[in-house]
Structure 1
Amino acid sequence: MLTPTTSNSQQQALLVALAGVLGAHGLLTDANDCARFTTGARYGQGSTLAVLRPDTHEQIVDCVRLCAEAGQALVLQGANTGLVAASTPDATGRFVVLSLERLKKHIEIDPINRSVTVDAGVTLQELNDALEPQGLFFPIDLGANPSIGGMIAANTGGARLIKYGDVRQNLLGLRAVLMQPAGEVLDLQSALRKNNTGPDLKQLFIGSSGAYGIITRAVLQVHRIPKQTATALVVPRDQAAVLELLSILERDCSEFLTAFEGVSGAALQAVLKHIPSISNPFAPEPLPNYCVLLELASTADPQVTGIDLESVLMRCLENLFGDVVENAVVGRGKDLWRIRHAISEALRHEGKMIAFDISMPRSSFVAFRDEGLALMAEKYPWIKVMDFGHWADGGCHFNMVWPQGEGIPQFDNQVVQAIRTEIYDLVVHRYHGSFSAEHGVGPYNLDFYQRYTSTAAQVLAGKMQSMLDPQRLLGLTWFGPVQ
């Protein structure tokens, strides 16, 4: 436990008050107990005075009031799966972690309205487990298992965005606790799809990295679970043929197309090398330089429609063989998706990962990829580019690995920062893209937010943040210009 001293008597008084609100299991101060809350999924290692673990909305309101009165800074945390260090405290120890992992008592499903009202601490898997008996699911497909509140704060997208959209497109309403006035509740828990009665205030909280308020509950639009799917891993003629294939599928199968995921040969090779349970889907043929994982899905009953999606997909690909498509593996959907979801884990075994989460108009993908690969080969030839991503929605994980070995330079953070700047400059300035397609903004990429976001946008975002949190107590991300 913390040892009281004369200089931290106010902090000790705050902890006593918080313990009175949260009870024995709701407040952690021991360093070992707090360790998992101070370490990020990829980046971020800090320290904290305490971890608050409320299990009711009312406890959150009381905690916010107490911390605001004491001038105590808070960092919000859901499932702690974020990749930009926005959900972990920094090394100063000035932050208290407000964890919502226990806020998961409420899941209210309305199957007729196709909506669900859910506590912010409920995880994506827990939500889908509850929805499945109703034949419903929340279709944001991710490699991690985040909390619903965290998904809103980052506006997550995932592999099936082309069909279902991101969190923003599936959020009907929410409830949030404000820092100004401290503990005030903003209740926007509407389950309406049409409601034009003024500004849509819930939009303030989507993608805000938790900087504008504490989301405690959400109302989500959910979808019917598909009755049939068809999956293929396709080898295109070349990079240009990837976009040709996408255009043809959208023309001929648009209502069925749910995913279109690019996978480089280097990323595929890493999966086969480091994940023994996954075998080469193209064996005995060699691995391709590039392939595309695509999926068709339908919620309609095939006995009613007479449509067999696998036959549809086979006919479409057969018409393209020898021109747009060189090879394809059709079927084995679970096995093919395992390859896609195993990429991030496999790359970690290759060396020190340099991750990118970028987006651009998809018509620019081929030119960007050619220029990005050429830049890396010329200036940083020891770096392995092992990219993959969501071609259909313009997203790309242009990930790289800095390997170890004889003749390879020692890992250097300054070199990595130079690489990031060059790639991001290419993405933002030449190809009019984004340096953060899905992961949001946090301490890890805040410098790039300030580099690429217009001054006018930063000023407006900062004014809103100052209005909602005048003491700057909530989170590590400041959206205004550098002060």
Structure 2
Amino acid sequence: MTALLDALRGALGAEFVIENPADRERYEHGARYDKGQCLAVLRPADTAEVAACLRLAAESGVRIIPQGANTGLVGGSTPDGAGQDLVLSLERLKSFAFDIDNGAVRVGAGLLLSDLNARLEPEGMVFPIDLSADPSIGGMIATNTGGARFLRHGDVRANVLGLTAVLPDGRVVRLGGGVRKNNTGPDWKHLLIGTSGAFGVVTEAELRVSALPRETAVALLVPAAPEAVLPVLRAMERRFGPMLSAFEGMSSGAVEAALAHVPALRNPFSPDPIPDYAMLVEIARTMPALEGEVPLEDLLQSGLAALMEEEPDLLLDARFGPPERGWALRHALSEGVKAAGKLIAFDLGFRRGQTMPFRLHMQRELARLHPEIRVCDFGHFGDGGLHFNLVVPFGSRWASDEAAEKALRDRVIAVAVEEFGGSFSAEHAIGRRNQAYFDAYSDPRLKAWSAAILQTSGDTRIGAARFD
């Protein structure tokens, strides 16, 4: 390893090869419960230096773990406990070039989402993937992030025009570009989006950007019954069309956890009890209001009032307020449930019609078999995404018995995939936490295809996930 580290220092500069355990620590610990130990942390400055790192690691047979902002939740960006991996931090790759004519921006993989949008805002533009966390662009591409406004803007995949990437053996490839319509063959960039860096490390991306909303309106809806949630969504899609930008579901457990964790939040349901389930809905428009045009909040209120009159069995209540207040509550859910106890979290995806049946099935099963477990779920109901969070007391056996937790995880995933036709990873991709489920549920033919692709690109291990 000494020769490899010497070569890496020569390629990057000694100050950008971090070996000191104290300095490595923040790269070795993930956003939630993932931690490990690495041989060293590499901090390249550009694509050429990334290529040098991968080439040298491949020649030495050492695994590379690409890392952006390290906000992932499935162990995809942290090393294992063996101390033999190299963490490849892309945090120095922060280039930015805005192409106003093409409605696109070319950025380095290490640029944070918040920094990208801060630089786009003066241009009246935004990269419209809305998240509670602040990931890097490279991490978002590696996991094909969705987020709260998927309903209107799609996932990261739908907004990537081109990529620059380094293959496992150190070769640099440029896939796609600013040309939006190009049917000259397979669109190879999609091999790298959502595959956790296993097929190559993205160093630069060209992204489609959208106009900033000029006006938004938000409401919190209380359904008359769980079965009413999907009919409400369909009614809103018919009534508001492309203006409907978000339709988020929130359980009472998640809302209570957020309010307890962030005292500054206002309880929007007070003085009434927090409902068992609520939906945050948003409509938005990018055009300035014309003279005499109805404000969006009035449009939303009148539309929901008409819905409640026409179909009185769907909604019990609709509450309105400043959009920033509604989104503050929504974005506090994740940290709230994390603070409420030992968190056993799932990132699941379903056909929209199966989302509520799954959660009701699991609520009944857990209440019967494990009444000490509290369901604190929320999710992007408009696209079938469900963050199915189970919170258990810190002192319970679930907090310390790894075998019991694994059995519970296996059961939830089995029900989601086998009984309800869902996905075990809606938007967190594959890391160590999801590897066993990929191995169990993926078509062997697809694994064989992945292995063939890896062999052509160097057959050298990158990342925590295996697709072969």
Q: TM-score range by the shorter chain?
A: over 0.9
Pair 1:352-2:316 in alignment: no
The 8 Å contact of residues 442 and 477 in structure 1, kept in 2 or not, is answered as: yes
1:175 aligned to which of 164, 173, 176: 164
Pair 1:255-2:245 in alignment: no
Pair 1:366-2:353 in alignment: no
Which residues in structure 2 correspond to 1:219-258 (within 5 Å)? 219-258=206-245
1:189 offset after TM fit, Å? 4.8
1:138 aligned to which of 127, 132, 149: 127
Pair 1:151-2:149 in alignment: no
Runs of 4 or more, structure 1, over 4 Å off, are 407-410
Pair 1:194-2:218 in alignment: no
Please name the residue that 2:387 is paired with: 397
1:150 offset after TM fit, Å? 0.8
State the SS of the aligned residue for 2:166.
strand
Structure-2 change in CA distance of 1:73 and 1:408 (3 Å): closer
State the SS of the aligned residue for 1:473.
coil
1:257 offset after TM fit, Å? 0.4
Structure-2 change in CA distance of 1:40 and 1:408 (3 Å): closer
State the SS of the aligned residue for 1:445.
helix
Distance in 2 of aligned mates of 1:170 and 1:373:
36
Please name the residue that 2:200 is paired with: 213
Please name the residue that 2:301 is paired with: 314
Please name the residue that 1:5 is paired with: none
Please name the residue that 1:430 is paired with: 419
Please name the residue that 2:405 is paired with: 416
Please name the residue that 1:385 is paired with: 375
The 8 Å contact of residues 346 and 389 in structure 2, kept in 1 or not, is answered as: yes
1:173 offset after TM fit, Å? 0.3
Please name the residue that 2:467 is paired with: 479
Aligned partner of 2:45: which letter?
A: D
1:30 aligned to which of 15, 20, 27: 20
1:166 aligned to which of 155, 158, 163: 155
Structure-2 change in CA distance of 1:426 and 1:304 (3 Å): farther
State the SS of the aligned residue for 2:303.
helix
- How many residues align? The count is 465
Which runs of 5 or more residues in structure 2 are unaligned? none
* Aligned residues with identical type, % of pairs: 45
Aligned partner of 1:478: which letter?
A: R
The 8 Å contact of residues 382 and 408 in structure 1, kept in 2 or not, is answered as: no
1:409 offset after TM fit, Å? 6.7
The 8 Å contact of residues 398 and 405 in structure 2, kept in 1 or not, is answered as: no
1:74 offset after TM fit, Å? 0.9
Pair 1:270-2:260 in alignment: no
State the SS of the aligned residue for 2:334.
helix
State the SS of the aligned residue for 1:355.
strand
Please name the residue that 1:79 is paired with: 69
> Greater shift after overlay, 161-170 or 426-435?
426-435
Distance in 2 of aligned mates of 1:467 and 1:410:
43
2:454 aligned to which of 465, 473, 483: 465
State the SS of the aligned residue for 2:258.
helix
CA deviation profile, 1:160-182 (whole Å, cap 9, x unmatched): 00000000000000001112xx3
CA deviation profile, 1:179-220 (whole Å, cap 9, x unmatched): 2xx321101251111100111110110111000011110000
State the SS of the aligned residue for 1:183.
coil
State the SS of the aligned residue for 1:344.
helix
Please name the residue that 1:4 is paired with: none
1:464 offset after TM fit, Å? 1.6
Aligned partner of 2:103: which letter?
A: R
Please name the residue that 2:269 is paired with: 282
The 8 Å contact of residues 165 and 202 in structure 2, kept in 1 or not, is answered as: yes
Aligned partner of 1:220: which letter?
A: L
Which runs of 5 or more residues in structure 1 are unaligned? 1-10
1:128 aligned to which of 113, 117, 132: 117
Distance in 1 of aligned mates of 2:129 and 2:398:
39
Aligned partner of 2:283: which letter?
A: L
The 8 Å contact of residues 97 and 106 in structure 2, kept in 1 or not, is answered as: yes
Distance in 2 of aligned mates of 1:384 and 1:466:
45
Distance in 1 of aligned mates of 2:48 and 2:292:
50
Distance in 1 of aligned mates of 2:398 and 2:435:
27
Structure-2 change in CA distance of 1:410 and 1:202 (3 Å): closer
Aligned partner of 1:128: which letter?
A: N
Aligned partner of 2:23: which letter?
A: D
Distance in 1 of aligned mates of 2:53 and 2:349:
38
State the SS of the aligned residue for 1:303.
coil
1:122 offset after TM fit, Å? 0.5
State the SS of the aligned residue for 1:368.
helix
Distance in 1 of aligned mates of 2:274 and 2:235:
24
